[in-house]
Structures are given as structure tokens and as C-alpha cells.
Amino acid sequence: MTESAVGGPTLPQERRLVTEIPGPGSLERLDRKKAHVADGVGTTLPVFVVAAGGGVLVDVDGNSLIDLGSGIAVTSVGNAADAVRRNVHAQVDAFTHTCFMVTPYDGYVDVCAALAELTPGDHAKKSALFNSGAEAVENAVKIARVATGRDAVVVFDHAYHGRTNLTMAMTAKNMPYKNGFGPFAGEVYRAPMSYPLRDGLSGEDAAARAIDVIDKQVGAANLACIVIEPVLGEGGFVVPAPGFLPALAAWAKANGVVFIADEIQSGFCRTGDWFASDHEGVVPDLVTTAKGIAGGLPLAGVTGRAELMDSVHVGGLGGTYGGNPIACAAALGSIEEMKEHDLAARARAIGEQMHARLEAIAVDHDVIAEIRGRGAMMAIELCAPGTTDPDPVRTAAVSAYCHQHGVVTLTCGTWGNVFRFLPPLSISDALLDEAFDVVAEAFAATA
């Protein structure tokens, strides 16, 4: 199996369990992992994968698992999607690297042109490409600082922006992301996020509360940028109350502050539109992208107002691999798949199907305090019935049941009590339904 595995959309679309999870082949490999890979690199579901495509992952033991995680919102077009595979093969055969800063090539420029077309707003835009989401966030902050001549960065409660030094400072949650890794970069300030389940505030009131904190604790004159996830990712798939994002964006504009949308998890059709900012007509000054952009290859971007992007001196932005030609070829393939199959519409349909299933489950299980999300970025928050006291124990139990029964699920949230669903947009209705049969069983079995 390992030698000749072929993934992609033609892989049999079925949940198939032929061993316990993990099976003997995976267990053997977990011992090797333990011997050679640093313990700090964790594992959510300990099966070793040999092929994936459509809506399934196949492991070394021949188990076929339904994927509700997309490798954390990355393989939105599906694993080994046709256009991605075709473009990557062609690019590997032509050349693998030159370093765009040494000798340029078309793929990089083509991706930047596509980003200008697809990101919110019809102003003149430019982009720079990087390798990871964290690197994109770091560079967005660099650009905002040069453009404004100011230092301070405002982020929000429950934010996740990465694991590098600056982005650890920007990320809210201590364990596992920050604990012991300080000291962190300075001039990062945290404002309260709109969290409707927990604060009950309207978007306008939540924005006024955040702006008051920014005013009193930072001061607009010192503030380079506000960085915000339009739908929280790792922090729990919280959708801010309507009006929150537009009010913050308007305040930023009025005060010469760069408004940066971190669309690394929410972007590229995931929420049922090209970008989550589109749902409320918010036009960010800069947008960071990664994950879903390239169908699984490492690529990230910062896209924004041309005059902001061009405020940085020549040579001030870059990196050896940023915008690698193979990753750019994959991105062009994945954008082609998204357009051709209207994956934004598919994300909306998947969202409706998931919402209906979750509503039915919630009728019998009052541990589900809220169903929320947009499109195919959906979650449920688990709390002690009738309260907002987080229930991470039940959340972990439900997720573990799904894993043992062949469904790849992820949790998130500041308290670890959010069960999130991020299926590839290439999943079939039937497979998605079967996955939610297992989720329903998981709630019944752990009640």
C-alpha cells in the first residue's frame, strides 16, 4: 500500500474500518515517531496516512477515514485535487526553485494577480508571498509599521496568529502555544473580542468596548494596526456579532490605523464566500492568506492597498522560499478548482447540511450551548447544561469516539470545549451525512 498509493478524487469514497484505530501498522510507526520526532510535535489522531482525496484519508492499515478537518482548513479543494496535481507535476518537471528575489518567474506574479482579483475591495492592490501563515502575519505587521511610522499592534481575546515570536505574542492562549517560550515581542496589546454567546453584546456595543480599551491603553496615535480574524479559528470559530467588524474597520480608517484581516483559516471559499470579510462587506487594508490557498502546499500571502504595500523599501520583504514555484503552481490549480466547481457555493451547501444535522443532535444533548460558524467553517460549543461553563472533558470524549469510529475531527477554543468541522469542499453529501451519523452516535455514547 505504502509504495503504490494513489490519492485524489477517485479514491473510493467510503468509511472503512479494517482494524482498531490506530491499527498495527500505525502503532509500529508511532514507536518510530516517538524515537525520532520531538515530543513537542503532537498528534491529534495517531494513524499514518498513505493516500487521501475527496472526503477520505486512507491509513497504512487500509482504514479509510472520513475527513472533517482538511488538515486544519488547508485541503479545501480536496487532497491531491486534479488541477493541483496537474500543475504541480508540470512545475516539478520544469524547475523547482530559483528564488523569486534572484530571478523571477510567472507563477508568483500570477498568484499575486489572482489575490488582487479575489480579495475584498476593488482598489489597486499588490501582494508579497511567504511560506506560512505566521510569516504572512509578521510581514503584514512590518508593512503596517513602515506605512504608519507607528509601533503598536492590537489583537483580540482568543486570537490565534501563529507560533513565531511576534505571532506568539499576538496569539492569546498560553497552553500549548506560548508556555515557557517568552519573552515575547513587545508593543502587542489585546482588546476584547465580540463573543455573542458569552457577552451578549451587539456588534456596535462590543466594538465600542474594544475601541475604549484601545483608546485608553494604547492611543490611536501610537497604533500601527489592528489584526483580527473575521471568524476566530483556533480560538473557537466565534463569529462576531453583526456590525462589530465594520465598526472597527471604520474606526481604524478614521484614525489612520491599518486594518488587517487574518483570513488564513477563514479565506478561500471556506466560509461560503471567497473571504469571511465579504459577508459584512468589510474591506480590509491588508489581508493575510495561507492554508486553503494552495491545496496543501506551503504558501502564504499578504495582499493590500498598493500604496501601503509599496511603503516598504526595496529588499525589505522576502525570504528564500517565499512564493516557491511549485507552491504557486498548486495555488493556481486550487484557485482554478474553486472557480470551476464554485466551491464557495459548495461551502454554503455543506454548511446548511452540517447545521441541520447539528440542530437535530442538539435537541437531545443540552451540553451543546451553541451552533455557530459560516459555511463549511462550523462548530459547536459544549458547556454544562444551562450555563456557559466550558465542558472540555465531554468535548474530548466526543472527539475521541469519532476518531475510533473512523471520522477525523478537531477541537479548538480557549477552553478546549469547541468541536469544529472543516470538511474538504470536495466531500460528498453521503459521506458528510455518514460522518454526522458518527457524531450523533458519539454524543449518545458519551452522554
Q: State the minimum distance, in angstroms, from the CB of residue 156 to ligand PLZ.
A: 11
Smallest separation, CB 267 to ligand PLZ (Å): 9
Smallest distance from the beta carbon of 160 to ligand PLZ, in angstroms?
Answer: 5
Nearer to ligand PLZ, 163 or 198 (CB): 163
Helix axes 325-340, 82-94, angle to 10 degrees: 150
In 234-347 the beta strands, taken as DSSP E runs, fall at 258-262, 286-289, 300-305
- Chain residues binding ligand PLZ by CB under 6 A are 72, 132-134, 137, 160-163, 229, 233-234, 262, 264-265, 290
Give the nearer residue to ligand PLZ in terms of CB position, either 153 or 383. 153
Give 218 or 412: the residue with its C-beta nearer to ligand PLZ: 412
Phi-psi region of 10 (alpha: psi -120 to 50; beta: other; left: phi over 0): alpha
Q: Minimum distance between the CB of residue 163 and ligand PLZ, rounded to whole angstroms?
A: 6
Cβ at position 234, least distance to ligand PLZ in Å = 6
Cβ proximity to ligand PLZ, 59 vs 234, nearer residue: 234
Report the side by side order of strands in the sheet with 368-374: 368-374, 377-382, 418-421, 410-412
Our CB check for ligand PLZ shows the closer of 262 and 381 to be 262
Q: How many CB atoms lie within 10 A of CB 177?
A: 16
Are 136 and 130 a contacting pair, CB within 8 Å?
Answer: yes
Of 9, 2, 82, residue with least CA distance to 50: 2
Residue with nearest beta carbon to ligand PLZ: 133
C-alpha cell at 129: 508571498
Q: Which residue has the cell 472503512?
A: 16
Q: How far is the CB of 113 from ligand PLZ (least distance, A)?
A: 23
- Looking from the CA of 295 toward its CB, the CA atoms found within 13 Å total 32
- Quick one: which H or E segment has residue 93? helix 82-94
Measuring CA to CA, which residue among 115, 188, 178 is closest to residue 145? Answer: 188
Evaluate whether 142 touches 316 at the Cβ level (below 8 Å): yes
Residue of 356, 354, 365, 337 whose CA lies nearest to 422: 354
CA-nearest of 438, 439, 420 to 381 is 420
Three-class secondary structure of residue 404 per DSSP: helix
Shortest gap between Cβ of 133 and ligand PLZ (angstroms)? Answer: 2
Distance CA 325, CA 88 (A): 9
Residue 265 or 395 having the CB closest to ligand PLZ = 265
Give whichever of 78 and 267 is closer to ligand PLZ, judged by the CB atom: 267
Of 133 and 304, which has the nearer Cβ to ligand PLZ? 133
Q: How far is the CB of 326 from ligand PLZ (least distance, A)?
A: 17
Nearer to ligand PLZ, 136 or 383 (CB): 136
CB of 291 to ligand PLZ, least distance (A): 7
